[in-house]
């Protein structure tokens, strides 16, 4: 992130209170203290929001909702581009609304991340001069807003709209762009869900409480609640996931709560069971530390005698990493592509 930050920070400092930093998961190590006090940051990640607040900055945690800013009020929007195309298109469409005439959208990203394509499509959207600079493996693209109203908005898949992706027990399961695997039943999570009954049966005391860590739109919570009566806490770092999961809890009558948090760091009570399909990427980078963070928090949040069930890609050495925190480690299922790891 240091290289990308170096291309964004000077411009943000110059813009001051008329500048906005868009910060997604790629900005976990962003040097927020280098920004002027009170500068605006919009992020969809709970951990990044907490970090930026300590800077201290004017932090807005949401699913990239730009409504706190009126139209044509910002002189600069700076953004290290996201992995998901619909998110980038959403930010670009919002820039077309929130930037003053002559204001600039500053993008940083790599060639393999689509930065050159975005330079063209977003340049057409905003209508002004586009300048592209290369810095090692990264490109910085500066696009001026020179069009009052775009001729055609970029396709962001109706970014803010929840929509049905499948049905469970006759009820809609809802999701939206902006969260991982938003438009499908994740194959790994489905494998875990298919083995939940045998997992619950293997626990000495039948579980009454469950923590769904990294819940996404709530797939594992919904599946678990369909098997047995449980009080469920679902937590995620992503604002889009929280929005979708909260609505799914309402639709399916789940007893429990949905919590925006960083790997359950603010949760103080323990659970009979924890289920988790942990991410092993942080933005565009693989990050072993992220998996270890999920494991350490799981240990803290499991009651004595409780059990956790993880699903990971077959190449992730979760059982080896888990030895630091757990004594009872089993791999009840390994398909080659995915494996389940039981921890206690």
pLDDT (tens digit per residue) in 176-231: 999 988 888 999 999 999 999 999 999 988 999 999 999 999 999 999 999 999 99
Q: How far apart are CA 46 and CA 60, in angstroms?
A: 10
3-state SS class at 198: helix
In the chain, which segments carry CATH 3.40.50.150? 2-145, 163-343
Q: Is the pLDDT of residue 136 over 80?
A: yes
Q: What are the Cα distances from residue 291, in Å, to 117, 287, 294, 313, 335? A: 32, 7, 5, 12, 20
Using DSSP bridges, classify how beta strands 209-213 and 231-236 pair: parallel, antiparallel or unpaired.
Answer: parallel
Confidence of residue 280 (pLDDT cuts 50, 70, 90): low
Q: Is the pLDDT of residue 284 over 80?
A: no
Q: How far apart are CA 315 and CA 334, in angstroms?
A: 11
Q: How many angstroms from the chain centroid is the CA of residue 7?
A: 23
User: Tell me: domain 163-343, CATH 3.40.50.150, correct?
Assistant: yes
Confidence of residue 261 (pLDDT cuts 50, 70, 90): very high
Of 3.40.50.800, 3.40.50.150, 3.40.1020.10, 3.30.70.260, which CATH number belongs to 2-145? 3.40.50.150
Confidence of residue 286 (pLDDT cuts 50, 70, 90): low
């Amino acid at each position: 992130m240091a290289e990308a930050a170096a291309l964004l920070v000077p411009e943000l400092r110059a813009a001051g209170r008329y500048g906005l930093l868009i910060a997604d998961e790629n900005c976990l190590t962003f040097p927020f203290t280098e920004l002027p006090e009170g500068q605006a940051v919009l992020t969809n990640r709970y951990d990044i929001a907490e970090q930026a607040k300590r800077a201290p900055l004017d932090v807005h945690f949401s699913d990239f909702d730009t409504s706190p800013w009126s139209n044509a009020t910002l002189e600069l929007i700076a953004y290290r581009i996201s992995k998901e195309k619909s998110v980038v298109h959403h930010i670009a469409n919002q820039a077309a609304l929130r930037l003053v005439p002559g204001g600039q959208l500053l993008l940083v990203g790599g060639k393999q991340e689509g930065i050159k394509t975005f330079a063209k499509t977003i340049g057409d959207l905003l209508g002004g001069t586009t300048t592209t600079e290369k810095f090692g493996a990264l490109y910085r693209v500066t696009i001026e807003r020179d069009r009052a109203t775009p001729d055609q908005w970029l396709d962001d898949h109706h970014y803010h709209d929840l929509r049905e992706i499948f049905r469970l027990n006759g009820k809609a399961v809802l999701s939206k762009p902006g969260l991982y695997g938003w438009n499908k039943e994740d194959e790994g999570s489905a494998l875990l869900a298919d083995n939940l009954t045998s997992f619950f049966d293997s626990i000495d005391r039948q579980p009454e409480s469950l923590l769904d860590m990294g819940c996404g739109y709530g797939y594992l919570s919904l599946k678990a609640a369909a098997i047995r009566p449980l009080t469920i806490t679902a937590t995620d770092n992503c604002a889009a996931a929280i929005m979708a999961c909260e609505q799914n809890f309402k639709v399916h009558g789940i007893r429990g709560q949905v919590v925006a948090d960083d790997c359950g760091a603010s949760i103080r009570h323990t659970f009979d069971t924890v289920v988790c399909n942990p991410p092993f990427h942080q933005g565009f980078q693989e990050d072993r530390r992220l998996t270890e963070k999920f494991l350490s928090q799981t240990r803290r949040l499991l009651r004595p005698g409780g059990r956790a069930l993880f699903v990971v890609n077959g190449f992730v050495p979760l059982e080896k990493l888990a030895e630091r925190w757990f004594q009872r480690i089993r791999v009840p299922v390994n398909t080659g592509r995915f494996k389940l790891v039981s921890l206690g």
